[in-house]
Amino acid sequence: MKKQLGIVLLIAVLGILAGCSSNSKKEDDSSKTATSNTDATHGAEMGGSGMATEMHSGQADALSKRVIYFEFDSSDVTSEAREIISAHAQNLSQNANLSVVLEGHADERGTREYNVALGERRAKAVQELLVLQGVQPSQIQVISFGEERPAAVGHDESAWRLNRRVEILYSGS
Amino acid sequence: MVRLKHFLFLLILLFAMMRASFAALTIDITQGIDGALPIAVVPFAWAGTAPVQGATTAAPENIAAIVASDLRRSGRFAPVPESDLVGRPSHGSQVNYTAWRALGIDNLIVGHIKPLVDGTYEVQFQLLDMFKAEQLVGYKIRSRRSNLRRTAHQISDLIYQALMGVKGAFDTNICYVTVTKNRRHEKIYRLAIADSDGYNEKIILETKSPLMSPSWSPNGLQLAYVSFSRGRPEVYVQSILTGQAKRVAAFKGINGAPSWSPDGKQLALTLSKDGNAEIYIYDLGRGTTHRVTHNSAIDTEPVWLPDASAIIFTSDRGNGPQLYQVAVNSRGALSRPKRLTFEGSYNARASVSPDGKFIAMVHRIEGSYRIAVLERETGYLRVLTESRLDESPSFAPNGSMIIYATEYKNRGVLAAVSVDGRARQRLQLNQGDVREPAWSFFKQK
């Protein structure tokens, strides 16, 4: 509380000082050079490029879904998810130039390293189904972020169910 | 003009205030122990007399306040407020034992701090027993100004040992990961170390990608950790003094959960290079890896027993994650893994007490994740915490406290609890989240 008051006062004082001084400098944003973002940007936007066009509308619908959700501490693929995976399997097997990154994630409950392993197991469950349906293993890369990259913030089931997921990210063409 | 001067003065004052309030971690004692020992720490006399060149007029650190705060944090002591002191002795010879006994004080700490001509300081303290009217421990310590806080923690360690029979863990460090957002709302991850009371924070690493699982080398000079800076989890070892980092495991798949062997020569790791998450021993000198587990389930979060005879790890080879123990030498497993935990459906991420008798873990009970301690000999499991998302337990090097990460008012904070569950404290950042604490080993002299 004291600190907040301090900041408010400081801002007020800075404002008055800036008003007093004619050559007051604006805060220089460029002084804080952005450190290069080394995180792989997985090219989620590029996904649309290699889409096969002669799909049935149902398949196209399934193909537009890129996230597979899971139950708590489970890597079992639901029947609804299987349809989505099948559509992607067909797309990938018919377009050998396409490749995907399967990014596994977990909700925040439980321990972090266990969740990295759980995220990987989820991604590998999806990978297995893709390969069973004719996708070349070389078209698939698996990465797990565990609970480190939640899709939804929050500490209850409404966020958790969105975070227990595998994202299918198309890369390149 | 006069007004401007006033504003400048205010500005300087405010900056001073803010600098003080930006002390990285603040500690709140959330629960003390009933029957904590009453103790009095008298402010140390400042023996700076005729001003030498550049000498200050007051002691540069309040040693007594640091010692009192250390003792209070342990949960074992109840230092009386300074206003209740019945005198200001700085030496045992000046103590009126009867008066202190009447105040209900069992033990009294007195001392002085004296500047020496070479710019160093002499800190002398005595711990006095009010009933026996005698000195229990007393030392004269030579210290540099930058080292006076550490000297105070060393005094606390000596007092703790004299009264509790166990070495204190005040002159130790903690490391942790902080997560804040910058102006562009990007997450900034920092790996930091600090004194055990949260002071003297030093940032070891700052990055925009997730950082995980910091682990102290036994000599306290290096940290192993997991970084996603190249888009996938990889294990690094970084020198605290030079900041130099070396990537030690970057295999396909998971590289995670580093834990130093007691001799500091190896890391136990989780790798999924051969299929799924398995435990490996990585030799830091030779660069070789030896596989420990062979199972289609998840095996992760390895930690060594203090005598290096076995590794305890998390596996869901049974039903859900449980702790297992496997005997090892430097080249791999010597036995089949044996299950250690049977109570509850989720027991993970072990931390072994320095004497090897207790295992702290994350334990799920009624849908909440709490810190529990298993007594290895009896198999008795005690749940120590009461919130719902507790994780990353780590024993103090004297085994007295466990530091862990928890959630408080929707933010990640650290907390510490005594092994008997009676003393508690919370360590909090001014902003953002703090997580994944690890308590260092004792400092080597």
Rounded to an integer, the average pLDDT of A157-168 is 97
Q: How many CB pairs under 8 A join A and B?
A: 135
Q: State residue A55's pLDDT score.
A: 53
Dmax (CA) for chain B in angstroms is 81
Contact A10/B14, CB-based, under 8 Å? Answer: yes
Nearest-by-CA chain B residue for A8: B14
Q: Please report whether residue A10 resides in a domain.
A: no
Contact A143/B436, CB-based, under 8 Å? Answer: no
pLDDT at A22 over 80: no
Q: Which residue blocks in B74-224 are alpha helix, DSSP H? A: 97-102, 148-164
Q: Extract the tokens encoding B361.
A: 């873990």
Nearest-by-CA chain B residue for A153: B410
* Domains of chain B, start order: 24-164 (3.40.50.10070), 173-439 (2.120.10.30)
Q: State residue A62's pLDDT score.
A: 82
pTM (2 d.p.): 0.85
Nearest-by-CA chain A residue for B301: A113
Contact B272/A120, CB-based, under 8 Å? Answer: yes
Q: State residue A37's pLDDT score.
A: 38
Q: Which of B26, B259, B300 to mutate to test the interface with A (most CBs of A within 10 A)?
A: B300
Q: In chain A, how many domains are there? A: 1
Q: Extract the tokens encoding A36.
A: 């290069």
Q: Extract the tokens encoding B127.
A: 């711990």
HSE of B214, CA atoms in CB hemisphere, 13 A: 31
User: Which residues does chain B have within 8 Å of residue A143's beta carbon, measured at their own beta carbons?
Assistant: 231-232
Contact A13/B257, CB-based, under 8 Å? Answer: no
Q: Please report whether residue A91 resides in a domain.
A: no
* Side-by-side strand order, sheet with B222-227: B211-216, B222-227, B234-239, B245-249
Rounded to an integer, the average pLDDT of A55-84 is 88
pLDDT at A83 over 70: yes
Q: What is the DSSP letter of B321?
A: -
pLDDT in tens, A87-133: 999 999 999 999 999 999 999 999 999 999 999 999 999 999 999 99
Query: Measured between alpha carbons, how far is A3 from A131 in angstroms, rounded to an integer?
Result: 57
Closest CA of chain B from A59, distance in Å: 31
Given a contact cutoff of 8 angstroms between Cβ atoms, the answer to whether B224 and B233 are in contact is no
Window 72-131 of A, Cβ < 8 Å to B: 73, 108-114, 116-118, 120-121, 124
A91 phi-psi bin (left φ>0, alpha ψ -120 to 50, beta other): alpha
pLDDT at A70 over 50: yes
- Which residue carries 């009461």 as its tokens? B386
Complex ipTM, two decimals? 0.89
Q: Please report whether residue A103 resides in a domain.
A: yes
HSE of A156, CA atoms in CB hemisphere, 13 A: 2
Domain of residue A105, residue span: 71-81+97-111+119-173
Query: Measured between alpha carbons, how far is B201 from B178 in angstroms, rounded to an integer?
Result: 11
Q: Judge whether A151 is closer than 8 Å to chain B, CB to CB.
A: no
Q: Please report whether residue A1 resides in a domain.
A: no
Q: State residue A173's pLDDT score.
A: 47
Q: Please report whether residue A140 resides in a domain.
A: yes
Dmax (CA) for chain A in angstroms is 73
Closest CA of chain B from A58, distance in Å: 34
Q: Please report whether residue A4 resides in a domain.
A: no
Assign B6 to helix, strand or coil: helix
Q: Please report whether residue A107 resides in a domain.
A: yes
Closest CA of chain A from B299, distance in Å: 8
User: Which residues does chain B have within 8 Å of residue A148's beta carbon, measured at their own beta carbons?
Assistant: 210, 212, 228
Q: Quick one: CA dihedral B58, B59, B61, B63, positive or negative?
A: negative
pLDDT at A18 over 70: no
CATH number at residue A131: 3.30.1330.60
Task: For B316, list phi and psi in degrees, rounded to 5.
Answer: -105, 30
**Residue A33: pLDDT band by 50, 70, 90 thresholds?**
very low
Q: State residue B265's pLDDT score.
A: 97
Q: Please report whether residue A3 resides in a domain.
A: no
Q: Measure CB to CB from residue A13 to each of B7, B212, B430 and give the nearest one.
A: B7
pLDDT tens string for chain B (445 positions)?
445 555 555 444 444 444 333 446 777 767 766 778 999 999 999 987 645 555 556 789 999 999 999 999 888 899 999 999 999 999 999 999 999 999 999 999 999 999 999 999 999 999 999 999 999 999 999 999 999 999 999 999 999 999 999 999 999 999 999 999 999 999 999 999 999 998 999 999 999 999 999 999 999 999 999 999 999 999 999 999 999 999 999 999 999 999 999 999 999 999 999 999 999 999 999 999 999 999 999 999 999 999 999 999 999 999 899 999 999 998 899 999 999 999 999 999 999 999 999 999 999 999 999 999 999 999 999 999 999 999 999 999 999 999 999 999 888 999 999 888 888 888 877 778 999 999 999 987 6
**Residue A56: pLDDT band by 50, 70, 90 thresholds?**
low
Q: Judge whether A12 is closer than 8 Å to chain B, CB to CB.
A: no
